[in-house]
Amino acid sequence: MPETTMIDAPETRVVKRTLKVPLNRVEGDLEIRVELDDDCVSDAWSTGTMFRGFENILRGRGALDGLVITPRVCGICGTAHLTAAAKALDAISQTPPPANAVRIRNLALMTEHIQSDVRHGLLMFMADFANPAYRGHPLYEEALRRFEPFKGEAVIEAIRETKELLEIVAILGGQWPHSSYMVPGGVVATPSLADLLQCRHLLAKHQAWYERRILGCPVERWLEVDSAADLETWLEEDSHRNSDLGFFIRFARRIGLEKIGRGPQNFISYGCLDIPADSQVRGRRNEVTDQLVPAGFARGTDVGPFEQARITEHVYHSWFEDYGGGRHPFEGETRPRPPETDDHKYSWAKAPRYDGLPAETGPLAEMIISGNPLFTDLVGRGGANVFVRELARLVRPAELMPAMRQWLAETDCEGTFYISAPRISDGEGFGLTEATRGALGHWVKIADQKIQHYQIVTPTAWHASPRDSNGVRGAWEEALIGTTVQDPANPVELGHVVRSFDACLVCTVHAVKGGRSVSRRTL
């Protein structure tokens, strides 16, 4: 039950209330505090309630230790952290990995994305469609049948199907999660032909299920949907309407998810999935490009180039020692300063900014920055919102699986997977990639063969960001503004907004609270 405080403001005849909403089904600990004018959110504060301090754990350790420690930042996106750590060391050692190693790295990262996208959509986001708030809704019984926790048919199928998919990472990398097989110069294992065939089988099996259950059509048919008008035409087919994606669209429209959760309307992607020079994989418009998912920064649908030097992190409202304004991650610090009474600080998350601006990242940002015509059209019409953000996540696997098939076919098990890298010299480098939830960067300085400096900026740091030094709200603080809450005791609308960003606080907050909370107990 949320804590509610009534504040009368008779001069405006508006009832002001403050609502504290501890959100479940986000990784780690997150508390959202909103101010309501009548039933509408007029202000919001996002609080990460745990300190982690991986940056401090890494300082003083061996130059390669980030490859082992950072995949343990998160149990969900360890491959993304490994990718960022390895790319930073690739840069410092000036040893680019060979084409086969690039393919293996890509395949592992894409597998992680696909599994996470499906689980988030079917197990986390759409669990809210089965919330009692929607009892009496014409589609509620169908929502229960599909998404009721522990027994919905989509829930059970999603667990059954996704449990096998990550075997691809285990086959290519030796284990999952917390794998450490990417190293400066490539990857440490050479897959056999049997390994590659097994990966192809696992991918084909998953794609067949994804097409049957989620899309209701072949991937190729979905990729023909290039505009809002195309989406309406696509939805007319029974098999499409009755798929989980079709149901999501129908239910989301009925409850108005396209009207809430706008956010800052700035989008950032660091880019990922480098395309080897000899690969047949092409971009969305069949163009030759360096990365399948391009880097960029967009204001609305106006896409511009991305330069990592423009990233800063602010800590004025975070529980860290102030350093004034924002600092680039190479100059950033992680010096915790525990909460004090009457503190203007209110979160363990820092506040990342690009050119001084907050931004959202993740599948929707990737779609806009890559010029995906459907999402460019949808966002061009109504801006970002909960509906279009979750739609992008549900269909991202369709964008990735064709390239995965191609890279599995192109991988030459007799080829080179590792180039001997020199000892890591003193220097600095950064590794940028796209984790499942969006832009992830590691900034590393090495001195005397040891890590002198390590800063990690996660996608959820972009989203869960508190206000910056200029008082500008973070992404989902901004996204919550204007949301109408029908029942403060069950603010399901706030959950829709925050979960549309696929919140993952373990990455974001820089700590530790005992155990994993499970009902009244902790396991």
Binding site for another protein (CB under 8 A): 24-28, 57, 69, 72, 74-76, 119, 123-124, 127, 149-151, 155-156, 159-160, 163-164, 166-167, 176-178, 504, 506, 512, 514-523
Query: In the structure encoding, which two tokens stand for residue 235, read together?
Result: 């939805």
* Full DSSP string of 198-229: HHHHHHHHHHHHIIIIIISS-HHHHTT--SHH
- From the CB of 53, what's the least distance to another protein, in Å? 10
- From the CB of 156, what's the least distance to another protein, in Å? 5
- From the CB of 512, what's the least distance to another protein, in Å? 5
Give phi and psi for 190, each to the nearest 5. Answer: -105, 115
- Nearest-angstrom CA–CA distance, 512 and 121: 27
Measured from the CB atom, is 123 or 273 closer to another protein?
123
- From the CB of 130, what's the least distance to another protein, in Å? 9
Identity of residue 295: A
- From the CB of 493, what's the least distance to another protein, in Å? 17
Residue matched to tokens 């919905």: 152
Residues 6+ apart with CB under 8 A from 350: 313, 314, 315, 318, 320, 332, 457, 461, 465, 510
- From the CB of 397, what's the least distance to another protein, in Å? 17
Measured from the CB atom, is 423 or 516 closer to another protein?
516
| Helix H or strand E segment including 16 | strand 14-22
- From the CB of 313, what's the least distance to another protein, in Å? 22
- Nearest-angstrom CA–CA distance, 200 and 429: 34
Angle 153-165/99-119 helices, nearest 10 degrees?
160
- From the CB of 467, what's the least distance to another protein, in Å? 25
Angle 153-165/140-147 helices, nearest 10 degrees?
30
- Nearest-angstrom CA–CA distance, 106 and 96: 14
132: which DSSP letter? Answer: G
Yes or no: say if 149 and 155 are a contact pair by the CB < 8 Å rule. yes
Q: Which of 329, 328, 345 lies closest to 337 in space, CA to CA?
A: 345
Residue matched to tokens 């293996």: 104
Yes or no: say if 272 and 347 are a contact pair by the CB < 8 Å rule. no
- From the CB of 82, what's the least distance to another protein, in Å? 14
Measured from the CB atom, is 82 or 92 closer to another protein?
82
- From the CB of 409, what's the least distance to another protein, in Å? 26
Measured from the CB atom, is 69 or 196 closer to another protein?
69
Q: Which of 492, 395, 470, 441 lies closest to 118 in space, CA to CA?
A: 395
* Full DSSP string of 402-466: HHHHHHHHH--TTS--B-PPPPPPSEEEEEEEEETTEEEEEEEEEETTEEEEEEEE-HHHHHH--
Separation in Å, CA 78 to CA 96, 113, 364, 441, 461:
21, 11, 21, 13, 16
Yes or no: say if 74 and 395 are a contact pair by the CB < 8 Å rule. no
